[in-house]
């Protein structure tokens, strides 16, 4: 695993994974591949790039270029994060999700098989790790048990259907071509570098600007939240100790309704503003700057089409097989996340106004 291709690593989870890997495996060679769409930000990798960690702006659907990189750098491991991931965007325009998530994954598999197996560069000593989502399993009712690795697939959005399709392609390349693959299905991640269209960063930033906090339906939809560094550590365990051909669910064992997440962030920022006059001066449009509660910004909006009610992951298998369990409690993780956004205004402001793309 010392020579690794990481796709989509200028995005949220991929960049955090590269940061984790460089910290714990500083001598390994990493080639970061990212097409740098709207959610791919090279500044997410600031301080990481050097002669052992290279960034290549490449579309994973460019099979020939991926093969060139595998050959040139003698790479024997692929960790595949690259994906279109926002459900709302998949509802509005599903084509790009099929192109990136299904065709892109197949392009990577073809490139890897050609170089590693057909050409013999890493006949036995290779690994293709595919990063997927709990959304492929569909939706749960409140009383139903959490998703396990044996839960039948039942994707309900174009996004989750595209990820399910890519999961099946990875499975097929193992069973048909004996490629050394593993797959992980994770729950909702949160933490640093999270693109501001997703719930937690959207709520934090909208509160700071005094903008509405849109909540779908009645806000009672439930998600399992996983701190992104715990996700990176889980993938590390799968790469080091996971059984080839297996799927591992990586979850936070941490279910929250959407409205409870919004209310929690409101109360946290109410307290931060009450205790910090510099914060009140920096964000005068925030209700808390004028001693008004942040939850006054909550607005209930029309529910998302086909909105899954609940996701939850049973982590029994990965705990028993690999010794994994989340290390960061939600209480600690959400405080760290709020701290990060408050101290990285330049980063998220450049994302909101698009100026990072012209750097």
Range of the domain at 59: 3-193+226-251+311-327
Residues noted as catalytic: 134-135, 159
Task: Give domain status of residue 86, yes or no.
Answer: yes
Task: Give domain status of residue 74, yes or no.
Answer: yes
Task: Give domain status of residue 350, yes or no.
Answer: no
CA pseudo-torsion sign 1, 136, 160, 308: negative
Q: 344: how many CB neighbours lie within 10 A of its CB?
A: 13
Q: 309: how many CB neighbours lie within 10 A of its CB?
A: 14
Q: What is the CATH number of the domain that holds 137?
A: 3.40.50.720
Task: Give domain status of residue 119, yes or no.
Answer: yes
Q: How many structural domains are present in the chain?
A: 1
User: What is the pLDDT, as a whole number, of residue 85?
Assistant: 83
Residue (of 61, 62, 54) closest to 6 by Cα position: 54
User: What is the pLDDT, as a whole number, of residue 1?
Assistant: 57
Task: Give domain status of residue 291, yes or no.
Answer: no
Task: Give domain status of residue 78, yes or no.
Answer: yes
User: What is the pLDDT, as a whole number, of residue 88?
Assistant: 84
Return the bridge partners of 247, or none: 183
Task: Give domain status of residue 257, yes or no.
Answer: no
- Mean pLDDT by groups of 10 residues along the chain of 359 residues: 91 97 96 93 96 96 98 98 89 93 98 98 95 97 97 96 98 98 98 95 98 97 98 98 98 97 98 97 97 97 94 98 97 98 96 79
- b/e string for 165-199 if b means 16 or more Cβ within 10 A? bbbebbeebbeeeebbbbbbbbbbbbbbbbbbebb
């Amino acid at each position: 695993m010392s020579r690794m291709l990481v796709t989509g690593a200028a995005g949220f989870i991929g960049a955090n994974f590269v940061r984790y890997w460089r910290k714990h495996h500083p001598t390994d060679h990493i080639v970061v591949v990212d097409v740098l769409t709207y959610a791919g930000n090279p500044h997410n990798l600031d301080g990481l790039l050097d002669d052992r960690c290279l960034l290549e702006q490449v579309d994973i659907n460019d099979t020939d270029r991926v093969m060139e990189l595998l050959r040139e750098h003698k790479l024997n491991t692929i960790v595949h994060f690259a994906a279109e991931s926002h459900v709302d965007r998949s509802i509005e325009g599903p084509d790009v999700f099929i192109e990136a998530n299904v065709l892109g994954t197949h392009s990577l598999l073809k490139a890897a098989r050609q170089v590693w197996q057909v050409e013999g560069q890493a006949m036995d000593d290779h690994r293709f790790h595919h990063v997927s989502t709990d959304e492929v399993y569909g939706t749960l009712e409140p009383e139903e048990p959490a998703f396990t690795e044996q839960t039948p697939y039942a994707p309900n959005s174009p996004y989750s259907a595209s990820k399910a399709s890519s999961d099946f392609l990875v499975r097929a390349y193992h069973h048909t071509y004996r490629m050394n693959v593993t797959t992980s299905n994770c729950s909702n991640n949160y933490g640093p570098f999270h693109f501001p269209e997703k719930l937690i960063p959207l709520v934090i930033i909208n509160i700071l600007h005094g903008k509405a906090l849109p909540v779908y339906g009645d806000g009672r939809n439930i998600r399992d939240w996983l701190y992104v560094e715990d996700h990176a550590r889980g993938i590390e365990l799968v790469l080091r100790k996971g059984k080839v051909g297996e799927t591992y669910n990586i979850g936070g064992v941490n279910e929250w309704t959407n409205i409870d997440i919004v209310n929690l962030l409101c109360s946290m920022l109410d307290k931060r503003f009450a205790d910090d006059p510099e914060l009140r001066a920096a964000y005068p449009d925030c209700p808390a700057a004028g001693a008004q509660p942040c939850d006054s910004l909550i607005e209930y909006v029309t529910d998302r089409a086909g909105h899954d009610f609940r996701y939850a992951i049973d982590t029994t298998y990965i705990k028993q097989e690999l010794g994994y369990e989340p290390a960061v409690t939600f209480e600690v993780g959400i405080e760290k996340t709020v701290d990060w956004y408050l101290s990285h205004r330049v980063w998220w402001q450049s994302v909101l106004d698009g100026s990072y793309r012209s750097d």
